[in-house]
């Protein structure tokens, strides 16, 4: 938020800075290949949807991008730096799958959770300052959850919790926000709110977004870039091209009605 | 001055009790929320082995306990992180392993002594001035470390992966927290004994979690419960002539039961 500024809309793809760059990335889990030769360039201002069937490696790819997993092969660069040397993690926001994120009886208020997103940025052995607390308040405002700041996190609905986790990720002012299956367990109304929030972050704040989802139809409507994954990168381009090339239908032969239904 | 505070041994008992009453619940909140409650019990048994070795070697028992417990803490954390064992299995191995070493060493030393017994069940009125300074010193180390790392420890406790993505040195801090548990256990052992140490860490934290909606509030209420239990326990042990360690833990359980009753009525 302090640092994220969108470049003029007129800039062409080639001019926009590479935010994340994967070069021939592979990942094996206990000898089984999960990802093979993935090369993918994410530019500032992109809204990339990573879709693929179960077991296609999309969550693995996201975890590699945020440094939770080390690739077995290939190279990952974030903001131009090799991920192994990357230290500016406040430029990255991560929203994990809700189910793994927390325990509902955890005693913490919404605000405590959101401001914890500033921990890395504030630095080790430093206390939170007013700057941190203001940033957390603004992040809560952005996701429309300011009225809930003193509520216990476990008492909120799934959709509200999800927005709190987005606020936590936004609190450090990230330029790149990565979300893992964010709409699982969230009701349709909250989903619509959620996507309109993402549109706003992407268009107004210029935040680069990467969204992993199995919800092909909705994602294809929302994003500007689509990556279809099935252990290898089957397709990377705009959603329109994906439709034309038949890549979506090929990937989800049995589910292709989902795409047709939305268009 | 009330009669209870006129004796030097009771003054030391209160000072030591209050020191442990401050650090145990603070560490306990983090442990309970990370589902690592059992780690305190495991390390307490390792500490017992350290005391036995110290008594056999004729050195200061708490020093032996501190060294061995810190080593045990590193071992547990290593095993847990490596993922080769489920967290609980690692804890169980250290719990029984510590006790086994203690029993063997005790046998070598020619059986139970009064001294060892006091570490098993606590002997707060036997706290010597030297013990007291060690307890207060270690207590300050624990409080200062938690205060300095509070926001990181919260972030890790709430969501370890997101903390990692923020660039927080999660593995290092987990090791630090386990080290703090080791220190706390050694201090608590003098007061309530190895067998009841876990209770002092876990029960006030569990009580507070039922009452507070915020994390900060949980820590504050756990502190209040713990200090109440310590003061009430030591006082009742003096006037009723009962074991202080047991009395403290029973007071803590009484407070916990109170919250269960109150919450189920409302």
SS (H, E, C) B232-262: HHHHHHHHHCCCHHHHHHHHHHHHHHHHHHH
- pLDDT value of position A262: 43
Measured distance CA(B214)–CA(B26) in Å, rounded: 14
- pLDDT (tens digit, 9 = 90+) per residue, B158-210? 999 999 999 999 999 999 999 999 999 999 998 889 989 999 999 999 999 99
Distances (CA, A) of A67 to A206, A258, B31: 23, 32, 26
Residue A6 belongs to a domain: no
B155 CB neighbours in chain A (<8 A) are 116, 119-120
Q: Report, in angstroms and rounded to the nearest whole number, the Rg of chain B calculated over CA atoms.
A: 18
Whether A7 maps to a domain, the answer reads no
- Identify the residue whose tokens are 């009225």: A147
Token output for B97:
């392993």
As a whole number, mean pLDDT of residues A67-88 equals: 95
- The complex's ipTM works out to 0.90
Residue A103: its chain B contacts at CB < 8 A? Answer: 33
Return the structure tokens found at A12. 């062409």
pLDDT band of A99, cuts 50, 70, 90: low
Chain A contact for B191, CB < 8 A?
no
Query: Over the stretch B83-128, which tens digit does the pLDDT of each residue have?
Result: 776 667 888 899 999 999 998 988 887 776 767 788 888 888 888 8
pLDDT surpasses 90 at A242: no
pLDDT over 90 at A247, yes or no: no
* A114 contacts A167 by C-beta, under 8 angstroms: yes
CATH of B3-195 given 1.10.3470.10, 3.30.70.260, 3.40.800.20, 3.40.720.10:
1.10.3470.10
Residue A8 lies in a domain: no
Pairing, β A176-180 against β A208-213:
parallel
How many beta-carbon pairs under 8 angstroms link A with B?
Answer: 89
Q: How many independent structural domains does chain A possess?
A: 1
User: How many C-beta atoms lie closer than 10 Å to residue A201's C-beta?
Assistant: 23
Cα separations (Å) of B259 from A47, A62, A245, B160, B263? 49, 43, 63, 30, 6
Tell whether A80 is covered by a domain: yes
The number of CA neighbours under 13 Å toward the Cβ of A55 is 2
Q: Which residues of B touch A102 (CB under 8 A)?
A: 158-159
Q: What is the CATH number of the domain that holds A141?
A: 3.40.50.300
Taking an 8 Å cut-off on Cβ atoms, the answer to whether A89 and B165 are in contact is yes
Residue A208 backbone phi and psi in degrees, to 5: -80, 130
Average pLDDT value for chain A:
86
Say yes or no: B83 contacts chain A, CB-CB below 8 A.
no
Q: pLDDT tens-digit profile of A195-210? A: 999 999 999 999 999 9
The CA angle A172-A130-A206, to the nearest 5 degrees, is 30
For residue A101, pLDDT beyond 70: no
Does residue A259 have a pLDDT over 70? no
């Amino acid at each position: 938020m302090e640092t994220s500024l969108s470049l003029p809309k007129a800039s062409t793809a080639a001019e926009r800075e590479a935010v994340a760059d994967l070069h021939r990335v592979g990942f094996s889990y206990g000898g089984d290949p999960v990802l093979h030769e993935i090369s993918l360039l994410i530019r500032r201002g992109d809204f990339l949807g990573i879709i693929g069937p179960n077991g296609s490696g999309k969550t693995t790819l996201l975890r590699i991008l945020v440094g939770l997993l080390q690739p077995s092969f290939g190279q990952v660069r974030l903001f131009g730096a090799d991920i192994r040397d990357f230290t500016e993690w406040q430029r990255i926001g991560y929203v994990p799958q809700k189910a793994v994120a927390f325990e509902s009886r955890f005693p913490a208020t919404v605000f405590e959770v959101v401001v914890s997103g500033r921990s890395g940025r504030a630095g080790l052995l430093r206390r939170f300052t007013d700057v941190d607390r203001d940033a957390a308040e603004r992040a809560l405002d952005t996701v429309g959850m300011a009225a809930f700041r003193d509520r216990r996190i476990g008492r909120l609905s799934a959709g509200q919790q999800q927005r709190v986790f987005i606020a936590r990720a936004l609190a450090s002012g990230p330029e790149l926000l990565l979300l893992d299956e964010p709409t699982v367990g969230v009701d349709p109304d909250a989903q619509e709110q959620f996507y309109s929030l993402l549109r706003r972050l992407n268009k107004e704040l210029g935040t680069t977004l990467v969204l992993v989802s199995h919800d092909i139809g909705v994602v294809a409507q929302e994003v500007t870039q689509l990556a279809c994954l099935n252990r290898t990168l089957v397709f990377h381009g705009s959603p329109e091209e994906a439709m034309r090339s038949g890549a979506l239908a090929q990937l989800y032969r049995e589910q292709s009605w989902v795409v047709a239904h939305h268009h | 001055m009330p009669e209870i505070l006129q004796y030097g041994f009771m003054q030391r008992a209160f000072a030591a009790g209050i020191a442990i009453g401050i650090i145990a619940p603070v560490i306990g909140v983090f442990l309970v929320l990370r589902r690592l409650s059992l780690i305190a019990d495991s390390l307490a048994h390792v500490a017992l082995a350290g005391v036995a070795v110290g008594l056999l070697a004729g050195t200061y028992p708490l020093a032996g306990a501190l060294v061995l417990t810190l080593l045990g803490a590193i071992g547990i954390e290593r095993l847990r992180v490596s993922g080769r064992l489920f967290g609980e299995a690692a804890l169980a191995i250290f719990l029984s392993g510590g006790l086994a070493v203690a029993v063997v060493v005790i046998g070598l030393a020619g059986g139970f002594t009064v001294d060892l017994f006091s570490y098993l069940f606590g002997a707060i009125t036997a706290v010597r001035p030297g013990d007291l300074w060690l307890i207060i010193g270690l207590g300050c180390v624990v409080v200062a470390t938690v205060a300095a790392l509070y926001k990181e420890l919260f972030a890790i406790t709430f969501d370890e992966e997101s903390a990692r993505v923020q660039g927080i040195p999660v593995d290092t801090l987990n090791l630090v927290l386990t080290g703090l548990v080791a220190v706390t256990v050694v201090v608590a052992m003098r007061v309530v004994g190895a067998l009841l140490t876990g209770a002092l860490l876990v029960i006030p934290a569990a009580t507070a979690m039922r009452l507070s909606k915020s994390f900060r509030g949980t820590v504050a209420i756990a502190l209040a419960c713990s200090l109440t239990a310590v003061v009430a326990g030591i006082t009742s042990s003096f006037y009723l002539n009962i074991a202080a360690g047991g009395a403290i833990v029973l007071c803590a359980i009484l407070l916990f039961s109170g919250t269960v009753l109150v919450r189920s009525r409302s």
